[in-house]
């Protein structure tokens, strides 16, 4: 969620971020107006509430004095009773006004929160403006193979996978529908190898492994930022009030929900491998062939909690690890600085690593890493004790995909294919495949 203090102090920065994202900058003014109304109502409420308490306290004393004077037949008994009744009427009037002001403050706060949820994280300086095609190229690594020079036309991953006998798309569609699949034999082993390599590297890099829930409550899903503009991508179980996660980022983000974490020894770094579910709403007609864009897949994710001033360095570290993975898979790839309009709500900056896919003759996203600054942690109530001794403060969170099972498999099959339909296994994966160097086509 957007930091209301930042929005008050530097609204132009938030407006500029909204414009860079291609989103509505007038939301900033709506939130500020509601914030002023809420604070005004709250201030008046507190003043009248204090007066109400004082008047209510006086009512008891005045009523007691009036009753005593009446019993004694005192000359001022009627006047005292009138004062007591007037105080009681004033207390009742103040009570009604206090309730109205409290309701007005609460309504303004609820409306402000609803609108604030529509405002994405404030982008970091230097993020390119624009949409999906407006990224900035950071670096290209490796050179795509020249299949013409090698004397054969490259097959796509579907033809290769079927030839190797490692995937069954027909049965996947029959059992579960479009965008589902079976991995068979060496296909399943290749998935285990990819996830095994990711877990090994995460362990080498000092990340604490977690097994996370794949079903979470709405508060956690919304806190991680997945029920804003991308709610249509999420599978929901209404009867149980639970959501299927599309990434273990959600479970990792919720791990310290409503906690004060200790960052005195440095960032907290976690990793998880989980089954992920995405509806792929809005992708009709895109990547319908094969296993590049599917509804269910395995993914190993990294997640970091750190101090806000350390977030940029942690982001660079996550990108380094992702590049380490792609280097290990011996894939030609490029790194891009994603444009503001393609970031997604929680991210203030995101780098994607895209591998070359020969059959498509273009780079396709395999991994990404996002710096979410304090956006997620503010929603999830995750804080640390301020190092300067000023109470607590919101921490920063970051995430990065190490590997999924399907997209790297697409890139592996196509980039390491040979003329006879076999596929060379990168050295880094061979320990999980019994040392095998080549996957051979099955006989038909």
Question: How many angstroms separate the CA atoms of 355 and 364, rounded?
Answer: 5
pTM for this one? 0.89
Tell me if residue 15 is catalytic.
no
Active-site residue identified among 368, 370, 379, 383: 368
Token readout for 390 is: 């000023």
Q: Residue 264: helix, strand or coil by DSSP? A: coil
Measured in whole angstroms, how far is the alpha carbon of residue 88 from the centre of its chain?
A: 53
Contact between 224 and 380 under an 8 Å Cβ cutoff? The reply is: yes
Question: How many angstroms separate the CA atoms of 26 and 11, rounded?
Answer: 11
Q: What is the pLDDT of residue 197?
A: 97
Tell me if residue 56 is catalytic.
no
Tell me if residue 139 is catalytic.
no
Question: How many angstroms separate the CA atoms of 375 and 304, rounded?
Answer: 13
Active-site residue identified among 269, 323, 383, 407: 407
Tell me if residue 424 is catalytic.
no
Active-site residue identified among 21, 189, 269, 293: 293
List, in order, residues 6 or more apart from 433 with CB less than 8 Å away: 186, 189, 190, 193, 425
Question: How many angstroms separate the CA atoms of 349 and 248, rounded?
Answer: 20
Q: What is the pLDDT of residue 85?
A: 75
Token readout for 90 is: 């004033």
Contact between 233 and 246 under an 8 Å Cβ cutoff? The reply is: yes
Tell me if residue 368 is catalytic.
yes
310 vs 9, 225, 313, 391, CA distance in Å? 23, 22, 6, 19
List, in order, residues 6 or more apart from 154 with CB less than 8 Å away: 145, 147, 358, 359, 414, 417
Each residue's pLDDT, cut to its tens digit, for the chain (444 residues) gives: 788 888 899 999 999 999 999 999 999 999 999 999 888 888 888 888 887 777 766 666 666 676 777 777 776 677 777 776 777 777 777 788 878 888 888 888 889 888 988 899 999 999 999 999 999 999 999 999 999 999 999 999 999 999 999 999 999 999 999 999 999 999 999 999 999 999 999 999 999 999 999 999 999 999 999 987 678 899 999 999 999 999 999 999 999 999 999 999 999 999 999 999 999 876 777 877 899 999 999 999 999 999 999 999 999 999 999 999 999 999 999 999 999 999 989 999 999 999 999 999 999 999 999 999 999 999 999 999 998 888 999 999 999 999 999 999 999 999 999 999 999 999 999 999 999 999 999 965
């Amino acid at each position: 969620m957007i930091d209301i203090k930042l929005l008050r102090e530097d609204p132009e920065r938030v407006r500029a971020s909204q414009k860079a994202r291609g989103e509505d900058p007038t939301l900033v003014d709506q939130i500020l107006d509601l914030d002023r109304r809420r604070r005004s109502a709250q201030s008046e409420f507190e003043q009248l509430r204090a007066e109400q308490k004082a008047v209510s306290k006086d009512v008891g004393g005045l009523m007691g004095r009036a009753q005593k004077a009446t019993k004694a037949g005192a000359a001022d008994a009627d006047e005292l009773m009138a004062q007591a009744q007037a105080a009681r009427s004033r207390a009742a009037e103040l009570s009604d006004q206090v309730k109205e002001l409290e309701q007005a403050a609460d309504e303004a706060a609820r409306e402000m929160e609803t609108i604030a949820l529509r405002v994405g994280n404030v982008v970091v300086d230097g993020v390119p403006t624009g949409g999906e095609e407006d990224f900035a190229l950071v670096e290209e690594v490796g050179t795509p193979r020249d299949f013409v020079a090698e004397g054969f036309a490259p097959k796509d991953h579907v033809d290769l996978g079927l030839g190797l006998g490692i995937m069954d798309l027909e049965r996947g569609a029959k059992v579960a529908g479009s965008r589902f699949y079976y991995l068979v034999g060496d296909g399943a082993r290749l998935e285990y190898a990819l996830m095994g390599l990711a877990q090994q590297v995460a362990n080498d890099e000092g990340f604490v492994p977690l097994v996370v829930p794949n079903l979470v409550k709405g508060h956690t899903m919304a806190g991680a930022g997945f029920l804003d503009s991308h709610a249509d991508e999420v599978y929901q179980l209404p009867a149980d009030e639970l959501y299927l996660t599309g990434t273990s980022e959600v479970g990792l983000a919720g791990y310290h929900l409503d906690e004060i974490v200790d960052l005195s020894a440095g960032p907290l770094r976690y990793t998880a491998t989980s089954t992920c579910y995405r509806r792929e709403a809005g992708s009709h007609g895109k990547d319908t062939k094969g296993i590049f864009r599917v509804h269910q897949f395995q993914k190993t994710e990294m997640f970091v909690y750190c101090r806000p001033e350390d977030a940029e360095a942690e982001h660079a570290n996550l990108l380094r690890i992702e590049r380490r993975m792609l280097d290990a898979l011996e894939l030609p790839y490029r790194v891009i600085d994603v444009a503001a309009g393609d970031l997604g709500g929680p991210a203030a900056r995101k780098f994607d690593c895209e591998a070359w896919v020969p059959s498509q003759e273009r780079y396709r996203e395999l991994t990404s890493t996002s710096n979410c600054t304090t956006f997620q942690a503010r929603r999830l109530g995750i804080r640390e004790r301020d190092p300067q001794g000023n109470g607590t403060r919101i921490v920063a969170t970051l995430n990065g995909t190490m590997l999924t099972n399907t997209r790297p498999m697409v890139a592996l099959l196509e980039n390491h294919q040979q003329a006879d339909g076999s596929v060379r296994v990168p050295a880094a994966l061979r320990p999980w495949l019994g040392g095998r160097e080549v996957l051979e086509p099955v006989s038909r």
